[in-house]
């Protein structure tokens, strides 16, 4: 067996043991693993597995790690790129800080923060709940109390926390406490998680200014809560905009169109209220 096939077989074993793998996915993986163990042709068995996974892969209905495996066996290498989590979890330098923001699907929060000068790393994950090491499947079931969020490491010599909060307001709808855009449910609620009193005061002052700006007709409901353990999401979700550019652009366009209309409405409201 060549190195590529050995790697795929190891991936099969890991997915079978992965608690996030659905039972029906695991049954297909076990059947493939058993066939390969019995000496069946490797190429034909992997092709059979790809055929069985394809209908749900097309509908984006595989669990994240199985999606990564599917992209690997179909040759879509961009989907299997691994996020360097060591860069994110390494020792903090004196001039680095962390900020955590939640505002709907975390896929659409990564790119705007990553593109801002002074950003060291952006990690997608889950926070705010009680269950340790939650999986994507568990979080979207709304049973863990977690929300999808991003943790941003930034260089305070280049960018300030106040600037990140201001950017966050531009990316979310702060009047919607039941989710964001097409993402509905408590796991998508908008939250600024603060790590200390300094961040809390900055976030509260910024929220107050936003409310007083009369940009929105409805109340500003984005919560400001103490930061808790931040659990990294599966590799499939990390830097999604780079791995799945076409799908990301469709989602991004929908959010941008809604926000543009909302901001235009706010501009007209302020214009007429001051006249």
> Catalytic site residues?
105
- Cα distance between residue 116 and residue 13, in whole Å: 40
Place of tokens 């109390």: 145
- Cα distance between residue 29 and residue 21, in whole Å: 10
Q: Which stretches of the chain are assigned E, i.e. beta strand? A: 96-102, 119-127, 147-155, 179-180, 183-184, 191-194, 223-226, 231-232
Contact 42, 1 (CB under 8 A): yes
Helix extents (H) in 115-215: 136-140, 161-171, 197-212
> What separation in angstroms does the CA of 237 have from each of 36, 74, 118, 241, 248?
30, 19, 23, 9, 11
Pairing of strands 179-180, 183-184: antiparallel
- Cα distance between residue 176 and residue 189, in whole Å: 8
User: What is the 8-class DSSP label of residue 222?
Assistant: -
- Cα distance between residue 110 and residue 119, in whole Å: 11
User: What is the 8-class DSSP label of residue 184?
Assistant: E
- Cα distance between residue 275 and residue 191, in whole Å: 34
Q: Please list, in sequence order, all residues whose beta carbon lies within 8 angstroms of the beta carbon of residue 252, skipping any fewer than 6 positions away.
A: 108, 111, 241
């Amino acid at each position: 067996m060549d190195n590529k096939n050995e790697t795929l077989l190891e991936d099969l074993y890991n997915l079978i043991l992965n608690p996030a793998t659905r039972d029906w996915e695991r049954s297909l993986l076990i059947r493939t693993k058993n066939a390969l163990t019995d000496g069946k042709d490797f190429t034909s068995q992997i092709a059979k597995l790809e055929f069985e996974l394809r209908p749900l892969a097309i509908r984006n209905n595989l669990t994240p790690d199985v999606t990564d495996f599917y992209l690997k066996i179909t040759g879509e290498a961009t989907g299997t790129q691994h996020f360097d989590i060591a860069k994110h979890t390494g020792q903090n330098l004196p001039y680095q800080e962390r900020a955590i923001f939640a505002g709907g699907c975390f896929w659409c929060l990564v790119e705007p923060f990553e593109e801002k000068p002074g950003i060291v790393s952006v990690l997608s994950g889950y926070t705010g709940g009680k269950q340790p090491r939650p999986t994507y499947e568990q979080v979207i079931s709304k049973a863990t109390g977690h929300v999808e969020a991003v943790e941003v490491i930034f260089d305070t010599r280049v960018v300030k926390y106040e600037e990140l909060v201001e950017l966050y307001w531009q990316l979310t709808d702060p009047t919607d406490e039941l989710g964001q855009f097409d993402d509905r449910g408590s796991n998508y609620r908008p939250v600024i998680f603060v790590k200390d009193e300094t961040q809390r005061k900055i976030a509260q002052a910024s929220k107050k200014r936003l409310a007083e700006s009369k940009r929105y007709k409805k109340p500003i409901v984005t919560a400001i809560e103490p930061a808790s353990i931040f659990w990294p999401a599966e590799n499939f979700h990390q830097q999604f905009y780079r791995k799945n550019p076409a799908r990301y652009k469709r989602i991004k366009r929908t959010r941008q169109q809604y926000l543009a209309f909302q901001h235009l409405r706010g501009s007209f409201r302020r214009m007429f209220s001051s006249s």
